[in-house]
C-alpha cells in the first residue's frame, strides 16, 4: 500500500531540510533552530535569576523580625513559578539544539540543568529557615515544609526524563531515511509518535483535523515526539519485504494458493 494521502488539512513545516544524503550523518541543528534554542536559553536563565532574586528577598526578610508568614509563602511561590518557567524553557531549548552524549558530565549538566537551578533557588532558603533564631518552631514547620515541597516540585519539573541528544536525532533520522528514503514524517497536535504515512489510521481519526509534516527533528522540537509509529514501521517493512523479495502479484497468488 502506497501512501494514499490524507483528507485532513496537511501543514508542511519548512526550514528543517538538510542537503547531505549519507546514511548515518551526524545531526547538526539548523541555524534557525539554534537561534530559537539560544533565545529560549536566555529567557530560561533570566527566569532562574528572577527566582533566585525572590529567594534573596525571602532570606532578607528572615533577618528582619517579626516574621510575616504570608510574605515568605508568597515569595516561595513566586520563586517556584519562575524556576518552573525557566526549566520548561530550558528543556525546550535542548530539543531545538540538543547536546552530545559523548561527554557524559556535560550532557547530564545541560540536560538536567533545571534540577540544579531548583536546588540553587531553594536550598539556601531552606537551610536558613531552619537555622534562623527569629523563626519559631511552628513557623519553621510551616514555612520550611512549604519551601521543601517547592524544592521537590521544582526539582521534579526540572528533570528531563527523555533528554534529547545529537546522537539520538542522527539515529532516528537515519532510521526514517533508511525506511522511506527521505527525512519526512507526519504527526498531530496531540500525538506522541511520528508517522511515515499521512494516511496512517492512527492519525486519521475523528479527533484530528490537522496533520503536520516535517523532519524527525522538527517533530521533536515542536511536539517533543521521539518515537516512530509501530503501525507505520510494520507497514513500510512489509512493503520493503515485497519489493526486495517477490512482487505484490506473486505474493497475492501465493496467498490465494495457500487458501485453497
Please report, as ranges, the residues that interact with Zn ion according to CB under 5 A.
195, 200, 202, 229, 231-232
Q: Which is nearer to Zn ion, 37 or 232 (CB)?
A: 232
- Report the DSSP pairing between strands 185-187 and 210-214: antiparallel
Smallest distance, Å, CB 228 to Zn ion?
8
Q: Which is nearer to Zn ion, 79 or 199 (CB)?
A: 199
Q: Which is nearer to Zn ion, 92 or 193 (CB)?
A: 193
Smallest distance, Å, CB 174 to Zn ion?
19
- Report the DSSP pairing between strands 9-12 and 210-214: parallel
Distances (CA, A) of 14 to 77, 111, 149, 175, 213: 40, 27, 43, 21, 9
Residue 212 phi, psi (nearest 5)? -100, 145
Smallest distance, Å, CB 227 to Zn ion?
11
Cα gap 199→59, rounded to integer Å: 58
Smallest distance, Å, CB 88 to Zn ion?
28
Smallest distance, Å, CB 211 to Zn ion?
11
Burial (0-12, 13-18, 19+ Cβ within 10 Å), 248:
exposed
Cα gap 61→74, rounded to integer Å: 12
- Residues 214, 16 contacting (CB under 8 angstroms): yes
Q: Which is nearer to Zn ion, 89 or 228 (CB)?
A: 228
Q: Which is nearer to Zn ion, 154 or 232 (CB)?
A: 232
Amino acid at each position: 500500500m502506497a501512501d494514499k494521502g490524507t483528507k485532513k488539512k496537511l501543514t508542511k513545516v519548512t526550514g528543517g531540510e538538510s542537503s547531505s544524503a549519507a546514511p548515518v550523518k551526524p545531526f547538526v541543528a539548523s541555524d534557525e533552530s539554534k537561534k530559537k534554542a539560544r533565545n529560549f536559553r536566555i529567557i530560561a536563565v533570566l527566569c532562574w535569576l528572577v527566582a533566585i532574586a525572590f529567594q534573596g528577598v525571602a532570606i532578607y526578610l528572615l533577618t528582619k523580625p517579626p516574621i510575616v508568614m504570608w510574605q515568605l509563602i508568597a515569595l516561595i511561590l513566586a520563586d517556584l513559578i519562575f524556576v518552573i518557567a525557566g526549566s520548561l524553557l530550558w528543556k525546550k531549548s535542548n530539543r531545538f539544539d540538543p547536546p552530545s552524549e559523548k561527554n557524559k558530565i556535560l550532557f547530564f549538566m545541560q540536560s538536567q540543568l533545571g534540577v540544579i537551578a531548583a536546588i540553587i533557588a531553594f536550598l539556601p532558603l531552606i537551610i536558613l529557615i531552619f537555622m534562623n533564631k527569629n523563626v519559631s518552631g511552628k513557623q519553621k514547620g510551616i514555612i520550611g515544609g512549604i519551601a521543601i515541597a517547592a524544592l521537590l516540585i521544582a526539582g521534579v519539573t526540572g528533570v528531563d526524563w527523555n533528554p534529547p541528544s545529537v546522537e539520538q536525532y542522527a539515529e532516528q533520522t537515519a532510521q526514517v531515511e533508511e525506511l522511506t528514503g527521505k527525512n519526512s514524517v507526519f504527526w498531530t497536535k496531540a500525538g506522541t509518535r511520528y508517522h511515515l504515512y499521512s494516511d496512517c489510521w492512527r492519525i486519521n481519526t475523528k479527533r484530528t483535523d490537522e496533520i503536520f509534516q516535517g523532519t524527525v527533528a522538527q517533530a521533536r522540537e515542536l511536539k517533543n515526539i521521539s518515537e516512530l509509529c509501530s503501525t507505520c514501521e510494520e507497514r513500510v517493512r512489509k512493503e520493503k519485504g515485497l519489493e526486495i523479495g517477490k512482487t505484490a502479484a506473486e505474493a497475492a497468488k501465493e496467498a490465494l494458493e495457500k487458501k485453497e
